[in-house]
């Protein structure tokens, strides 16, 4: 074979779309804004479809807070009356007071469910397929977080619709002004759960960790009792409630339902969101984080 024919044969083996003079190490073109939006839409829509197809998850997300609202609150209405405290302009029923706490409960349990799905995907290897895509790992985790928040918004507004017929009626504008607070609190709780999913090694250990995190966070907060009542009974418990990020998520939602902003709670929620999200991104780093110490995102 002549040199010319060999050269022609080598050119014929060149991959389609690759110009002459470029090797296999050429970098792919940068992803555009449309590609990022398509990736986000796909992840969010996948989570929403999964949620809608899991009817048991939909019912459990509503039954839990409704039991507290219809049974627990009705039994303690007379003994746990709430005085005039911000953001309320008058005395309110106990059911009205605990509604923001029950909304926070919905978001907290939904965040843990999203964390559970992350652990499951890691064990089955589905996460490996997601993380090897050309998109930045931090963007993929953020998209997963936004998907979880989107599902929690569906749950919260369904709960508010049911509570409306139970004569728990915040101002009409409150259904709109509470939306930013729901997004921020959902991002904080979802970031915390995302970080937890990087720590939990096996699916069987998840239930114990959930109980260890969810119930202390929920009960040691202002979800069920005003902070001033907690302070009267135990100063130590009051201090614990103040440093509990879930307390500030609940207060942010409580004030937003009445068109107000609790600036302290807003600052705390933003700080904890940044801390948890930064920790989750670092933990899912294949070369530095906790996932790398276990052999990769596939759980192998």
Structure confidence by residue, pLDDT tens digits, 34-62: 888 888 888 888 888 887 777 777 777 78
CB 95 within 8 A of CB 166: yes
Is the residue at 7 inside a domain?
A: no
Hey, which of 81-95, 159-173, 258-272 has the most confident mean pLDDT? Answer: 258-272
Is the residue at 271 inside a domain?
A: yes
Environment class of 8 (CB within 10 Å of its CB; exposed 0-12, middle 13-18, buried 19+): exposed
Is the residue at 300 inside a domain?
A: no
Helix (H), strand (E) at residue 41:
helix 33-53
Q: Which of 299, 298, 290 has its CA nearest to residue 132?
A: 298
Tokens (6 digits) for 258: 């009445």
Is the residue at 18 inside a domain?
A: no
Is the residue at 15 inside a domain?
A: no
Is the residue at 2 inside a domain?
A: no
Domain span including residue 153: 29-294
Contacts of 128 (CB under 8 A, 6+ apart): 296, 297, 298
**CA distance to 45, 72, 170, per residue, from 184 (Å):** 20, 28, 20
Is the residue at 59 inside a domain?
A: yes
Q: Which of 233, 283, 276, 228 has its CA nearest to residue 251?
A: 228
Q: Which of the four pLDDT bands, split at 50, 70 and 90, describes residue 7?
A: very low
Is the residue at 78 inside a domain?
A: yes
Q: Which of 240, 209, 208, 212 has its CA nearest to residue 225?
A: 240
Tell me the per-residue pLDDT of 224-263, one tens digit each, with 9 for 90 and over.
888 988 898 899 999 999 999 999 999 999 999 999 999 9
> Considering its fold, how many domains does the chain have in total?
1
The confidence score (pLDDT) of residue 206 equals 67
Per mean pLDDT, which range of 58-62, 99-103, 109-113, 289-293 is the poorest? 289-293
């Amino acid at each position: 074979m002549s040199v010319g024919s060999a050269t022609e044969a080598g050119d014929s083996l060149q991959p389609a779309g690759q110009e002459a003079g470029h090797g296999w190490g050429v970098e792919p073109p940068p992803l555009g804004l449309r590609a990022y939006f398509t990736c986000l839409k796909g992840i969010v829509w996948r989570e929403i479809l999964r949620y809608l197809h899991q009817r048991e998850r939909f019912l459990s997300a509503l039954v839990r807070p409704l039991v507290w609202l219809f049974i627990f609150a009705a039994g303690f209405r007379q003994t746990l009356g709430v005085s005039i405290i911000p953001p309320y302009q008058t005395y309110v029923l106990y059911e009205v007071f605990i509604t923001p706490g029950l909304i926070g409960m919905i978001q907290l349990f939904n965040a843990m469910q999203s964390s559970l799905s992350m652990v499951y995907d890691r064990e089955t290897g589905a996460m490996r397929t997601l993380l090897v895509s050309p998109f930045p790992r931090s963007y993929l985790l953020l998209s997963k977080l936004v998907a979880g928040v989107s599902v929690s918004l569906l749950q919260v507004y369904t709960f508010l619709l049911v509570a409306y017929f139970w004569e728990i009626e915040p101002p009409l504008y409150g259904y709109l002004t509470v939306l930013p607070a729901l997004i921020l609190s959902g991002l904080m709780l979802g970031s915390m759960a995302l970080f937890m999913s990087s720590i939990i090694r096996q699916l069987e250990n998840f239930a114990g960790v959930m109980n260890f995190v969810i119930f202390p966070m929920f009960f040691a907060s202002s979800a069920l009792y005003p902070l001033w009542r907690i302070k009267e009974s135990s100063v130590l418990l009051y201090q614990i409630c103040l440093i509990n990020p879930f307390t500030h998520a609940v207060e942010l939602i409580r004030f937003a339902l009445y068109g107000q902003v609790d600036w302290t709670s807003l600052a705390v929620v933003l700080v904890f969101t940044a801390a948890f999200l930064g920790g989750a991104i670092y933990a899912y780093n294949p070369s530095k984080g906790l996932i790398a110490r276990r052999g990769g995102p596939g759980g192998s």
